[in-house]
């Protein structure tokens, strides 16, 4: 982690806290992600990893601490020491540079795969339809769906839908991609095709934060693994250390359970 | 091979279950239908030929087109548009908008349409004979107070004259309809998975555009069927225009012919026939609208069953 210099920092989170109805889900998270780095968030369900991911693009508003993405304070403006909430418009502008892939895909069901990918660049950025169309077709090709531009999401398998969702996020040319358990809703035989797309993306130098239960993916692709439990970061480091030689008992028992599940 | 097919169960040629009571029901219904038809034919008081004549009288046709059809379309356009706006307001995070929407729905749902139309038609012209639109609210009062002549008015409308036009009927029924449409729109919007809004937000789409491009098109699937019902109800409620009073309208014109010619029953038959025709056309229209907004929730031309199955797959994201 320390090999990344300060000026290449893309995500900088300090003491992030978040509670839902008095139930504290994040209890002071610190996390730095450098440009081009792939970070996997691991941990049992309810550990706060998905919530933290959603805080980065303001699907949840944080209660305390600060998050910066590429130097911009997320969600607030600091005016002479006082924080002001950003307007909806400014929030939307910050989200444009951050791509997000959801566990349940959330493709727009009334649009074809191609229309899904083209929607944001055309409607949000106001780019020319013709240019976007070419780029969208190229992105569909990149995720291996060049033969499906006219298909509606309901006509695609889960794995295909998730790949369209990745292409849709990439169409905005994001600086950062957030993946929220992208393979958890998939049938086992469809997991591989989605992970392959993500692996290629990592190879191309995309900065990625991935909440996942795929230990194989984390071990192979992640530059760093962060293990969370009970709303705090328990330990982090290269996958070779955290997964193969965990220092904390909580990490060890979690990994043990994951291994048992994989064997079943 | 033939031995194997003898040992293993082959194609099934089973006898169907008998439904003797179905045939009993058919027989009973057939008797009733026969009685009805016989009455149509033998009872000359029905006077169908004259009913057909009334249907084609010019004032009746004029009332049908200029009153019933134009009134229905106008009131539904106003009602749907205003209703969607009020429905969205109801779901707003702004408490003022939520309150306004609630009071609007409460007020207009409580008032019978015939009372509302009577109040608008007669009362409005009585209370406000002229409607002046000036540059500022209360500009008339200010001008009076400052001793100026009221020449600030941009636009003036003679309300008494306006009151008896179809516009007043459209406004009255449209305002009432908006209260019902608001509830329908709200239910439709709430039926769309929250993940859809989140996906649009995550792409940096502003709230207004998310509503127009992502949420409303999907909400339409839920909104269209009850709106079809509302439209059919609206066709019939245009017969209340007489409370305004507007008499260029199907029911009034047809029964007026009936009263004049003492052919009351044929005039009702003529009215009924026209309403049946209008509603049949609307049902066909609704079918195509539902197909249009069901896009992406099933392949083209599916049966109801496959449609529901693929809908499950799409929304559940399985």
Assess contact for A198 and A212: CB atoms under 8 A. Answer: no
A120 lies within 8 A of chain B by CB = yes
Kindly provide the b/e burial profile for residues B220-247, where b requires at least 16 CB atoms within 10 angstroms of the residue's own CB.
bbbbbebbbebbbebbebbbbbbbbebe
Give the chain A residue nearest B199 (alpha carbons).
A106
pLDDT at residue number B295: 75
Residue A219 CA, chain-centre distance (Å), reads: 17
Angle, vertex CA B178, rays to CA B174 and CA B183, nearest 5? 155
Q: Kindly provide the b/e burial profile for residues A204-230, where b requires at least 16 CB atoms within 10 angstroms of the residue's own CB.
A: eebbbbbbbbbbebbbebbbbbbbbbe
Which pLDDT score, from 0 to 100, does residue B312 have?
38
Task: Measure the CA–CA gap between A48 and B170, rounded to whole angstroms.
Answer: 55
Beta-carbon contacts of B190 under 8 Å, excluding residues fewer than 6 positions away, are B91
The alpha carbon of B198 is separated from its chain's Cα centroid by a whole number of angstroms, namely 32
Q: A25: closest CA among A68, A1, A61?
A: A61
In order along chain A (264 residues), what is the average pLDDT of each group of 10 residues? 62 96 94 96 93 96 96 94 93 96 96 97 96 96 96 96 97 97 94 96 96 92 95 94 91 90 74
3-state secondary structure of B80: helix
β-pairing verdict for A38-42 and A207-211:
parallel
Give the containing element (helix H, strand E) for B132.
strand B130-133
- Comparing alpha-carbon positions, the chain B residue that sits nearest to A56 is B202
Which of B176, B292, B177, B170 is closest to B224 using CA atoms?
A: B292
Instruction: Label residue A181 left, alpha or beta by phi (over 0 means left) and psi (-120 to 50 means alpha).
Output: left
What's the distance, CA B53 to chain centroid?
29
CB A180 within 8 A of CB A100: yes
> Which strands sit side by side in the sheet containing A232-237, from one edge to the other?
A98-101, A176-180, A207-211, A38-42, A224-229, A232-237
Flag if A109 and B207 touch (Cβ within 8 Å): no
∠ CA A246-A248-A252, nearest 5°, is: 60
B111 contacts: CB under 8 Å, gap ≥ 6: B176
The rounded distance, in Å, linking the Cα atoms of A132 and A122 is 7
* pLDDT for B143: 73
- Asked if the C-beta of A123 comes within 8 angstroms of chain B's C-beta atoms, the answer is yes
3 state DSSP class of B133: strand
* pLDDT value of residue A262: 74
B interface toward A at CB cutoff 8 Å? Answer: 193, 195-196, 198-207, 209, 213-214, 217-218, 293, 295-299, 310-311, 313-315, 317-318
Closest CA to A228 of A47, A34, A17: A47
> 3-state DSSP: chain B helix, strand, coil percent, rounded to 5?
75, 5, 20
Residue of B nearest to A102 (CA): B199
Please state, in angstroms and as integers, the Cα–Cα distance from residue A52 to each residue in A19, A49, A171, following that order.
Answer: 11, 5, 24
Contact B296 A153 (CB under 8 A): yes
Nearest CA in chain A to B296: A110
Residues 6+ apart with CB under 8 A from B96: none
Rounded to 10 deg, the angle between the A113-123 and A158-170 helix axes is 20
Q: Which two tokens stand for residue A43?
A: 């941990």
What is the per-residue pLDDT for B96?
Answer: 97
Residues of chain B with pLDDT under 50: 1, 299-318
Residue B128: what pLDDT? 83
**Which residues in chain A are contacts of B209 at CB distance < 8 A?**
123-124
Q: How many CB atoms lie within 10 A of CB B297?
A: 22
Q: What is the pLDDT of residue A176?
A: 97
The DSSP annotation for B157-213 comes to: EEHHHHHTSHHHHHHHHHHHHHHHHHHHHHHHHHTS-HHHHHHHHHTT--HHHIIII
How do strand A38-42 and strand A23-34 relate by DSSP bridges? unpaired
Q: 10 Å Cβ neighbour count for B158?
A: 11
Q: Which residue has the tokens 């049966």?
A: B303
CA-to-CA separations, B108 to A29, A137, B50, B162, B225, in angstroms, rounded: 52, 50, 40, 22, 22
Task: Give the whole-angstrom CA distance, residue B294 versus residue B113.
Answer: 33
Asked if A104 reaches chain B (Cβ–Cβ under 8 Å), the answer is yes
* Residue positions counted in chain B: 318
Please provide the DSSP assignment of chain A as one string: -TTS-GGGEEEEEEEEEEEETTEEEEEEEEEEEETT-EEEEE--TTSSHHHHHHHHTTSS--SEEEEEETTEESSEEEETTEEEEPPHHHHHHHHTTEEEE-TT----TTS-HHHHHHHHHHHTS---HHHHHHHHHHHHHHTT-TT-TT--GGGS-HHHHHHHHHHHHHTT--SEEEEESTTTTS-HHHHHHHHHHHHHHHHTT-EEEEE---HHHHHHH-SEEEEEETTEEEEEE-HHHHTTS--SHHHHHHHHHHHHHHH-
| CB–CB contact B199 A106 (8 Å) | yes
Least CB–CB distance from B204: residue in A158, A165, A172: A172
Which residue does chain A place closest to B214, by CA atoms?
Answer: A108
- Count, residues in chain A: 264
Instruction: Give the integer Cα–Cα distance in Å for A57 and A99.
Output: 9
ipTM of the predicted structure?
0.92
Q: Rounding to the nearest 10 degrees, give the CA dihedral for residues A117, A122, A125, A128.
A: 120
The alpha-carbon gap from A249 to the nearest alpha carbon of chain B, in Å, equals 35
Q: List, edge to edge, every strand of the sheet that includes A9-20.
A: A23-34, A9-20, A64-69, A72-73
């Amino acid at each position: 982690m320390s090999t990344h210099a300060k000026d290449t920092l893309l995500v900088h989170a300090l003491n992030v806290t978040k509670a839902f109805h008095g139930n504290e889900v994040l209890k002071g998270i610190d996390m730095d992600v450098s440009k081009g780095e792939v970070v996997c968030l691991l941990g049992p369900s309810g550990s706060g990893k998905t919530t933290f991911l959603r805080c980065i693009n303001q699907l949840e508003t944080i209660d305390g601490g600060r998050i910066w993405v590429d130097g911009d304070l997320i969600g607030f403006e600091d005016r002479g020491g006082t924080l002001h909430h950003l307007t909806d418009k400014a929030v939307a502008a910050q989200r444009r540079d951050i791509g997000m892939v959801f566990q349940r895909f959330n493709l727009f069901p009334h649009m074809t795969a191609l229309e899904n990918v083209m929607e944001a660049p055309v409607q949000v950025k106001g780019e020319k339809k013709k240019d976007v169309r070419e780029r969208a077709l190229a992105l569909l090709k990149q995720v291996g769906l060049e033969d499906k531009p006219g298909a509606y999401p309901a006509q695609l398998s889960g794995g295909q839908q998730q790949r369209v969702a990745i292409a849709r996020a990439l169409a905005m040319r994001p600086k950062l991609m957030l993946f929220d358990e992208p393979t958890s809703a998939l049938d086992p035989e469809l997991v591989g095709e989605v992970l392959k797309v993500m692996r290629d993306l990592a190879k191309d130098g995309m900065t990625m934060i991935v909440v996942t239960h795929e230990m194989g993916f984390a071990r192979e692709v992640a530059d760093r693994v962060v293990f969370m439990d009970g709303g705090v970061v328990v330990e982090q480091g290269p996958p070779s250390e955290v997964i193969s030689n965990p220092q904390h008992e909580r990490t060890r028992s979690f990994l043990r359970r994951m291994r048992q599940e994989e064997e079943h | 091979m033939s031995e194997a097919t003898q040992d293993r169960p082959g194609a099934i040629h089973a006898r169907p279950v008998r439904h003797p009571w179905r045939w009993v029901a058919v027989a009973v219904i057939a008797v009733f239908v026969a009685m009805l038809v016989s009455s149509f034919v033998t009872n000359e008081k029905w006077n169908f030929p004259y009913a057909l004549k009334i249907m084609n009288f010019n004032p009746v046709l004029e009332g049908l087109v200029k009153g019933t059809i134009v009134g229905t379309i106008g009131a539904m356009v106003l009602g749907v548009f205003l209703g969607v706006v009020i429905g969205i307001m109801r779901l707003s995070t702004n408490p003022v908008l939520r309150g306004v929407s609630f009071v609007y729905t409460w007020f207009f749902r409580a008032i019978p349409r015939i009372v509302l139309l009577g109040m608008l038609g007669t009362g409005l012209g009585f209370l406000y004979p002229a409607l002046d639109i000036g540059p500022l609210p209360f500009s008339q009062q200010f001008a009076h107070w400052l001793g100026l002549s009221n020449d600030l008015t941009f636009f003036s409308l003679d309300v008494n004259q306006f009151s008896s036009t179809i516009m007043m009927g459209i406004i009255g029924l449209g305002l009432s309809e908006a209260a019902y449409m608001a509830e329908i729109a709200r239910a439709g919007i709430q039926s769309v998975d929250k993940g859809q809004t989140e996906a649009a937000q995550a792409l940096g789409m502003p709230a207004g555009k998310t509503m127009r491009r992502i949420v409303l098109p999907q909400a339409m699937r839920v909104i269209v069927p009850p709106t079809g019902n509302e439209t059919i109800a609206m066709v019939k409620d245009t017969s209340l225009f007489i409370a305004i009073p507007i008499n260029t309208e199907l029911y009034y014109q047809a029964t007026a012919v009936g009263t004049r010619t003492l052919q009351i029953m044929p005039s009702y038959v003529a009215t009924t026939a026209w309403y049946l025709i209008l509603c049949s056309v609307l049902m066909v229209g609704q079918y195509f609208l539902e197909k249009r907004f069901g896009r992406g929730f099933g392949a083209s031309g599916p049966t109801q069953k496959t449609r529901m199955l693929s809908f499950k797959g799409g929304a559940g994201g399985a």
